Amino acid sequence: MTVAGQGVVVTGAAGGIGKALAARLVAGGARVVINDLDPVATEAAAAEIGAYAVPGDAASVAGIVALVSAAREHLGQVDAWFANAGIVRGYGLDASEVAWAASWEVNTMAHVRAARLLVPGWLARGGGRFVVTASAAGLLTALGTATYSVSKHAVLAFAEWLSATYRHRGIVVQAICPQGVRTGMLAASGPMRTVLADGAVTPEDVAELTWQALHDDRFLILPHPEAGDHYRHRATDTDRWLGGMNKLQRHLEQDGAAR
């Protein structure tokens, strides 16, 4: 992939993985628009890394229309979209309807809505790139937070569908699936935070691996290679894998970490 000069959008980029991705893309010569909800934090991040800030809600229909329009006005065209925005809201079966709805909107539908606006233009031009941050929760599960697990599984399934449907027409789709990353979200990851903290990588580590993956177009981008091993185990011996996850759940309950 030739990044120099390309127009790129990164959502959820005022901090964490999104900001690190945007900074790496800027360093590689891309023209980058970053988006996040907090206008002050978004403007500050853009100034720091040399990007262009478009604050706003990347999940709602009106918000995504406004973001794509502003990005096209600034960049001329959007060549690549990094659908990175994500939230953790709610944990077990007691998660509220509001938490479920918010998780679905931000973690899944935001990316669907972006693709609706971007893919037709990419098909007309013969190329484009759509990268989702799906998390290892999308490959496996995240004990303690059903809302996050389900919505991340859904966005991974959507990314798979996009790739299967459009790859022969020049659209590259990729999914970043890290386990523990040293961001604010790690602290909000419920009972799994103590497990994920062991072996957690930095946002910059994720960004560098993603940068490398842009040049070979691999679908799964795995900052923790062991997540790929667990994924294969899950697919080939599901009952044993579920038994292992339940053993971990019991361990968390014994330690008083489970909600």
Burial (Cβ within 10 Å: 0-12, 13-18, ≥19) of residue 187: exposed
Q: Which two tokens stand for residue 232?
A: 């294969």
User: Which amino acid appears at position 87 of this protein?
Assistant: I
pTM: 0.91
Alpha helix (H) residue ranges in 126-224? 135-139, 146-166, 184-187, 193-197, 203-213
Q: What is the DSSP letter of 106?
A: I
Specify the pLDDT at position 182: 64
228: enclosing H helix or E strand: helix 226-236
Long-range contacts (CB closer than 8 Å, 24 or more residues apart) made by 59-65: 59/85, 59/105, 59/106, 59/109, 59/110, 59/113, 60/105, 61/113, 64/110, 64/113, 64/114, 64/117, 65/117
Alpha helix (H) residue ranges in 7-96? 16-27, 39-49, 61-75
Q: Are 59 and 85 in contact (CB under 8 A)?
A: yes
Specify the pLDDT at position 195: 61
Whose CA is closest to 224, among 246, 187, 193, 198?
198
Specify the pLDDT at position 16: 93
Examine the residue annotation and report whether 231 is marked as an active-site residue of this protein: no
Whose CA is closest to 81, among 175, 19, 8?
8
Whose CA is closest to 169, among 217, 126, 130, 131?
126
Q: Which two tokens stand for residue 140?
A: 């496996």
Which residues are registered as beta bridge partners of 181?
201
Catalytic residue among 91, 148, 166, 231: 148
Q: Which two tokens stand for residue 34?
A: 């970053």
Specify the pLDDT at position 179: 83
Phi, psi (rounded to 5 degrees) for 33: -105, 130
Which residues are registered as beta bridge partners of 220?
175
- Length in residues, the chain: 259
- The per-residue pLDDT string of the chain (259 residues; one tens digit each, 9 = 90 and over) reads 678 899 999 999 999 999 999 999 999 999 999 999 999 999 999 999 999 999 999 999 999 999 999 999 999 999 999 999 999 998 889 999 999 999 999 999 999 999 999 999 999 999 999 999 998 889 998 888 899 999 999 999 999 999 999 999 999 999 999 987 766 665 655 555 566 656 678 899 999 999 999 999 999 999 888 889 989 999 999 999 999 989 988 888 887 655 5
Phi, psi (rounded to 5 degrees) for 174: -140, 155
Specify the pLDDT at position 137: 87
Specify the pLDDT at position 18: 94
